[in-house]
Amino acid sequence: MEQHKIDEFNHQHIKEHQREFNFVAGYLSNLDDVLQKLIAFQIAIPSWALGTGGTRFGRFSGGGEPRNLEEKIEDVGLIHALNRSSNSISLHIPWDIPKDAAATKKLAEHYGLHFDAVNSNTFQDQPGQKLSYKFGSLHHVVKAVRQQAVDHNIEVIKYGEQLGSKALSVWLSDGSNFPGQLNFRGAFQRTLESLQQIYEALPKDWKVWIEYKPFEPNFYSTTIGDWGQSFLLASKLGEKAQTLVDLGHHLPNTNIEQIVSLLLMEGKLAGFHFNDSKYGDDDLTVGSINPYQLFLIFNELVEGMDARGMNHATGIGWMIDASHNVKDPIEDLLQSVEAIKIAYAQALLVDNEALAQAQQQNDVINAQEILQNAYRTDVRPLIAEARLRAGGALNPIAVYRLQAVRDGLIKKRGVKTVATGL
Ligand code: LRH
Ligand code: MN
């Protein structure tokens, strides 16, 4: 995406933007601080979300999707050029094995990108794999299967080191489908022992992020099924181990913001896989179903990070994990990044001193008024201004459509594309 096309669009829309920006800016006592924080706040893009996802009932490809790692990096580069808010990509191994890590790193740098956490995969059997993960991986009853999975995770760390990544992200589908199938204590102990081997292989400045999920693909138990089980493992492993919160990995009506506040309090919050859901692990566009919950989560994050004196941009792993069945993947990701920055900006507007006072006085009405005053503030002009100052587009999706980018990708890459990931 040529910069002049973005500048042209911004020039045509600057008047309208300045009117809207001046309106909300007039309300803020901490405008510069908010804009600086918004400019610095970057959200990693998952490599597996650049193509059309699908469900077991089918996949409807939109065409022009990346056919290899290089084209995935190109697409994240495009997203970052438009929103100046997505300067890293998270790879999934073996879906994204770099043939030449140095060349891959160079290509990413060309687009102003770096590599976020690398994800291991012991939830699928790969062609030619000796031992199957049908009955699990790190918790498997057979030592050789556990060792095969440990070796894979250590191999993933090696790829990550070559690319400059600083974290291994582990999600295990390990679990059971029927009562009696699994000894829960044994499964937990074997998982811990396997993770200890992986932990020992971590370079000194690396982290291991342990993602939990209550169900799917197993439908009776999941060995790392909730934040408590992940937190227990991370606490037993050591200070390099933390808990990763995927918003879609909670049973209905779970108070996710409370979980986030406690993990942050304990220094065990690795980061997020942002998405949205109405029922299960729906992996929908962030903020498309329950934007108020997302705001409440960011309210706990801002309050908790400030309480620990943390740098908002670097202290936590900010990442999307979504899958697109009916939307253009790039437009969907642009919408998700926007929704995350809206929730963050709203949380930065919460008058935490007044809120703490209201909480001290059990003034429940005022506490809600303080929160919802921030939530009901239209912060979109602030995010657009932050983007403008960072060289991005005032309206990324409008520029993407005006430039007919998808048509260009379809011409170049074709209509039918193989699934390169989920
Ligand atoms: C599991 C999950 C995990 C990934 C996968 C792509 O549902 O959220 O983070 O490895 O999706
Ligand atoms: Mn996830």
Could you read off the pLDDT tens digit of each residue along the chain, which spans 422 residues? Answer: 999 999 999 999 999 999 999 999 999 999 999 999 999 999 999 999 999 988 889 999 889 999 999 999 999 999 999 999 999 999 999 999 999 999 999 999 999 999 999 999 999 999 999 999 999 999 999 999 999 999 999 999 999 999 999 999 999 999 999 999 999 999 999 999 999 999 999 999 999 999 999 999 999 999 999 999 999 999 999 999 999 999 999 999 999 999 999 999 999 999 999 999 999 999 999 999 999 999 999 999 999 999 999 999 999 999 999 998 999 999 999 999 999 999 999 999 999 999 999 999 999 999 999 999 999 999 999 999 999 999 999 999 999 999 999 999 999 999 865 555 55
What residues does 208 pair with on adjacent strands?
168, 241
d(CA 302, CA 309): 10
Q: Which of 133, 273, 320 to mutate to test the pocket of ligand 1 (most atoms within 8 A of CB)?
A: 273
**Looking at residue 243, what is its pLDDT?**
98
Residue at token pair 């986030």: 260
Which amino acid is present at 3? Q
Of the candidates 126, 91, 96, the one whose C-alpha atom is nearest the C-alpha of residue 319 is 91
Ligand nearest to the CA of 46: 1
Q: Do 382 and 24 form a contact (C-beta atoms < 8 A)?
A: yes
Per-residue confidence (pLDDT) for residue 350, from 0 to 100: 98
What are 274's two structure tokens? 């942002």
Which ligand neighbours the alpha carbon of 320 most closely? 2
User: What whole-number distance in Å separates Cα of residue 160 and Cα of residue 85?
Assistant: 22
Specify the pLDDT at position 54.
84
pTM score, whole prediction: 0.97
Ligand 1 centre from 171 Cα, in Å? 6
Instruction: Give the model's pLDDT for residue 80.
Output: 98
Q: Which atom of ligand 1 is nearest to the CA of 119?
A: 10
Q: Which amino acid is at 47?
A: S
Q: Tell me the two tokens of residue 219.
A: 């439908």
Helix (H, G, I), strand (E, B) or coil at 273: strand
3-state secondary structure of 103: helix
- pLDDT value for 55: 86
Distance from C-alpha of 314 to C-alpha of 293, rounded to nearest angstrom: 23
Q: Is the CB of 246 under 6 A from ligand 1?
A: yes
- Dist. CA 306–CA 221, nearest whole Å: 37
Closest-lying ligand to the alpha carbon of 121?
Answer: 1
Measure 46 CA to ligand 1 centroid, in angstroms: 10
- Closest alpha carbon to 248 in 62, 49, 399, 75: 49
3 state DSSP class of 307 = helix
Residue whose token pair is 């879906």: 95
What is the structure's pLDDT at 334?
98
What does R_g of the chain's alpha carbons equal in angstroms?
22
3-state class (DSSP) for residue 388: helix
By the CB criterion, residues less than 5 angstroms from ion ligand 2 are 246, 273, 321
What separation in Å is there between the alpha carbon of 8 and the centre of ligand 2?
A: 37
CA–CA distances in Å: residue 269 to residues 166, 262, 272:
15, 9, 9
35 CA → ligand 1 middle, Å: 32
Q: Assess contact for 372 and 347: CB atoms under 8 A.
A: no
* pLDDT for the residue numbered 228: 98
Does the beta carbon of 119 sit less than 6 angstroms from any atom of ligand 1?
A: yes
- Spatial separation of the C-alpha atoms in residues 210 and 233, rounded to whole Å: 8
* Residue bearing tokens 């060995």: 223
Secondary structure of residue 210 in the 3-state scheme: strand
Whether the CB-CB separation of 220 and 176 falls below 8 Å is answered with: yes
